[in-house]
């Protein structure tokens, strides 16, 4: 079922994943591909997304704060997609996990739920679908 979200939530979702991408100071091809897929799913132009990904490691002017979403359900989707993307290089870096934990807390979620999301991710055996693909930005 497709759910509409605001432009602000869509922007926060994409920006949050960009911030997650730089947490381990490296970007793998699978991680980048997934973040670009998210951007496209949210309706952002490919060139904008590619530029944002290319610049995220070096842009020190972007505030590195966890995103705040309009609902806990959207935050939970973000956490799940974040785990999928962060582990796409077969390595979940401690700084990526800690940042997702902070994002969960910032959005009123129990950070311990990340453990069950992580267990589900392992049983999925790779990224086939992202939760963001069930969202549509309402412009």
Residue closest to 62 by CA, chosen among 11, 138, 26, 27: 11
Around 113, how many Cα atoms within 13 Å sit in the side-chain half-sphere? 18
Structure tokens at 79: 């956490």
Neighbouring CB atoms inside 10 A of 135's CB total 23
Q: How high is the pLDDT of residue 127?
A: 74
Task: Write down all domains in the chain, each with its CATH number in brackets.
Answer: 7-125 (1.10.3680)
To the nearest 10°, report the CA torsion of 98, 28, 6, 78. Answer: -40
Q: How high is the pLDDT of residue 36?
A: 97
Distance in angstroms (rounded) separating the CA atoms of residues 46 and 38: 10
All residue ranges of the chain with pLDDT < 70 are 122, 125-126
Q: What are the CB-based long-range contacts (under 8 Å, 24+) for 44-52? A: 44/10, 44/14, 49/14, 52/14, 52/18
Q: How high is the pLDDT of residue 106?
A: 96
DSSP characters for 23-36?
Answer: TTS---HHHHHHHH
Q: How high is the pLDDT of residue 122?
A: 67
Neighbouring CB atoms inside 10 A of 47's CB total 8
Structure tokens at 119: 């267990």
């Amino acid at each position: 079922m497709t759910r509409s979200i605001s432009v602000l939530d869509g922007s926060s979702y994409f920006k949050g994943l960009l911030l997650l991408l730089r947490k381990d100071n490296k970007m793998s091809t699978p991680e980048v591909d997934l973040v670009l897929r998210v951007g496209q799913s949210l309706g952002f132009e490919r060139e904008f997304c590619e530029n944002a990904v290319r610049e995220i490691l070096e842009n020190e002017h972007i505030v590195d704060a966890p995103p705040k979403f309009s609902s806990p359900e959207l935050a939970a989707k973000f956490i799940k997609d974040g785990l999928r993307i962060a582990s796409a290089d077969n390595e979940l870096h401690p700084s990526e996990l800690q940042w997702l934990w902070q994002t969960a807390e910032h959005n009123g979620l129990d950070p311990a739920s990340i453990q069950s999301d992580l267990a589900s991710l392992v049983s999925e055996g790779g990224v086939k679908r992202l939760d963001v693909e069930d969202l549509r930005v309402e412009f």
